Amino acid sequence: MCTCWLAETVSFESHSVTYAVNSIYRYLRSISCEIRDTDQKCFKLEAPAQLVAMHLQGPNIQHQVRLNMALYRPKSGTRVQVSTSFPVALGIKGTSLYLSCVHNGQQPTLQLEEADLLKDVRGPELERFIFYKVESGDTTQFESAAHRGWYICPPPESNQPVAVTNRVGEVFITNYLLTQAK
């Protein structure tokens, strides 16, 4: 009786990541707040669904948008400094409109979309609604989770659409003052 062994080459791949990454932002709670940039411009909702930044005073202050800020627990594997940054979704209070950052042509753009986000946000297709609330002293910035390095900014001129920029510290203001609404 003869026993023969054949040697066979087995290929393998080496991966540095050996754990499953959770792609879910877990909903925690919501708060209502008012937002102003450091130039004191407020957000106002224009028809049909456009967010503009403008100086509002006196009786016109009633047109100021209140945000419904849904707070989320960061997804596993995300490099976020927990003490200064927190994932949020920003909705217009009293509507089902949420801010989203999408790639539209050459660069990311900010838009309002109808959505029901008061629940867990799953997968990359919904990540467009998530912004990292980055706190620095008394001010807050909102960085897109889908397009890192792009921040919500009002235009330098009043009564123009709110947008996103990657030119932080240049012409565009990206710092906001938040006050909790009653």
The overall average pLDDT reported for the chain is: 83
Residue showing tokens 């087995």:
10
Q: Does 8 reside within a domain?
A: no
Q: Tell me the mean pLDDT in the region 124-146.
A: 92
Q: What is the value of pTM for the model shown?
A: 0.81
Q: What is the CATH number of the domain that holds 175?
A: 2.80.10.50
Q: Does 7 reside within a domain?
A: no
Q: Which amino acid is at 110?
A: L
pLDDT of residue 79: 55
Q: Does 10 reside within a domain?
A: no
| Helix, strand or coil, per DSSP, at residue 122 | strand
Task: Tell me how many domains the chain contains.
Answer: 1
The band of 108, judged by pLDDT with boundaries at 50, 70 and 90, is very high
Q: Tell me the mean pLDDT in the region 54-78.
A: 86
Residue 86, domain extent:
24-180
